[in-house]
Chain A
C-alpha cells in the first residue's frame, strides 16, 4: 500500500485505486468521508467551523466551513467520475476536548459542527451511513478508497472501523 494522502485542517482531498486518505487528530473539528462504491472514489474533508455565513473576512479558506467544504469535495469527486446518487457519507469528530469551556464562548462547537455537517449532507441528499461523533476525545481518521471503510483511532479508547 502506498503512503496515505494526508488531509490537513481546513483541507480536503480525494483518493482512488485503493489509496488511503488520513486526517490526524480531529478534536472539535469534523472529518467527512464520502464514498462512491462503484467508481471507488473516496473523499475526505476536515472542517473546523459550521458556517461561512458568519464571516466578514471574504478571503478566508472556504474549506474550513461545513457549509462550503462538503460541496467543494462533492464537486471534486463528481469531476473525477463519481456519481452523486451512489455517494454515502461517514463522519467522525466533533468532540469537546475540554469539559468546562462555557466561559470561552466555545461551548458546544463540536456539537454545532456535527449538526452543520448533517444539515449540509441532508441538503445535498447524501445519506450518513455511519458516525462516531461527540464525546471528549481526539480522533485520527483513515478512509480507504478500496472499500470505503472509515477507521477511527483514539488515544484512550483504542480504534475501530465503520
Chain B
C-alpha cells in the first residue's frame, strides 16, 4: 500500500522511523561531542504525527525563543531538517568553539554565525549519512540557514511547505542534552510522503 498521508504509517513503520532517528542522532551527537570536546547525551527519539499547533506546543509554545537551523534534503529523500537550539545551547557552542557569547542574533558577528551554521551542517551531515548507509539511499543536504526567533514562526516554514500534502506534519524528534541541564536542542527530520514511501521500501516495510 502506498503511503498518501502521514497518518497512514503503521506501527512497524513508525518504529523503523524511530530507529532511523536513533541512529541518526547517535551519529550527530558523536559529531557534536567531537567538535565541542565534551560529552553529549541523547534521549530516545520520539516520533510524532501532529498538526502544526500541537507540534509547536511540544517545543514549548509558539513564543519560545530558539535558534533555528534549517537545511533542505534532496536526492532520494526530499524534505527538511531543522535543528532547534535553545539560547543556552547556542551560547555553549560558541563558548566552546570561539570563547564568545551569544547575545542577540542582530549583534552576532559573522564568525559566530558561521560557527553555529557549521555545527548544524556537521550534525546534519552525520545524521543523514547514518540514514543513507542504513537505507542505501542517496541523500544530499543544502546549505544551512539560521534564524533566532519564535518557535512558532520558524515551524510555520515546514508547515507551509507541507500544507499541500497534509494538515499534519511528521516529526522525528531527538533531544540532545548536556551535563548542564539548561541546554537543550531538538533535531526535526521532516520527510515528504513519497520519501517516506522510499525509506519503507528500502527497509522492506512497504506492505
User: Interface residues, chain A, CB within 8 Å of chain B?
Assistant: 8-10, 24-29, 48-49, 54-55, 57, 60-61, 64, 95, 97-101, 103-104, 106, 109, 136-140, 155-156
Cβ–Cβ contact A104 & B161, under 8 A = yes
Q: Out of A28, A55, A140, A156, which one reaches B160, CB within 8 Å?
A: A28
CA distance A25 to B68 in the complex (A): 14
For A98, the chain B residues whose CB sits under 8 A away are 68, 70, 145-147, 157
Given A48-B160, A54-B164, decide whether A100 and B153 contact each other with a Cβ distance below 8 A: no
Cβ–Cβ contact A138 & B160, under 8 A = no
CA distance A97 to B106 in the complex (A): 14
B67 to chain A, nearest CB (A): 11
CA distance A57 to B166 in the complex (A): 9
Knowing that A106-B161, A156-B148 touch, tell me 18 more A-B residue pairs with CB under 8 angstroms. A9-B156, A10-B52, A24-B63, A26-B153, A26-B156, A27-B154, A27-B155, A27-B156, A27-B157, A29-B156, A48-B160, A64-B163, A97-B68, A97-B149, A101-B157, A104-B72, A104-B142, A106-B160
CA distance A89 to B65 in the complex (A): 29
Chain A residue with the shortest CB-CB distance to B56: A25
**A-B pairs with beta carbons under 8 Å apart, 9 shown:** A27-B155, A48-B160, A55-B164, A97-B147, A97-B149, A97-B156, A99-B145, A99-B147, A155-B150
List the 9 shortest-distance A-B pairs measured between CB atoms, nearest first. A25-B152, A138-B153, A27-B153, A24-B62, A27-B156, A98-B145, A25-B62, A25-B150, A138-B150
For B149, the chain A residues whose CB sits under 8 A away are 27, 97, 137-138, 155-156
Q: 1/0 per position for B79-106, CB-CB distance to A under 8 A?
A: 0100000000000000000000000111
Secondary structure at the A interface, as helix, strand, loop or mixed, is loop
Cβ–Cβ contact B72 & A49, under 8 A = no
For A99, the chain B residues whose CB sits under 8 A away are 145, 147
Interface centre among A95, A97, A98, A136 (most CB of B within 10 A): A98
Cβ–Cβ contact B159 & A140, under 8 A = no
For B53, the chain A residues whose CB sits under 8 A away are 8-9
For B163, the chain A residues whose CB sits under 8 A away are 48-49, 64
Cβ–Cβ contact A109 & B153, under 8 A = no
B201 adjacent to chain A (CB < 8 Å): no
Chain B residue with the shortest CB-CB distance to A25: B152
For B35, the chain A residues whose CB sits under 8 A away are none
B167 adjacent to chain A (CB < 8 Å): yes
Cβ–Cβ contact B152 & A28, under 8 A = no
Chain A residue with the shortest CB-CB distance to B149: A138
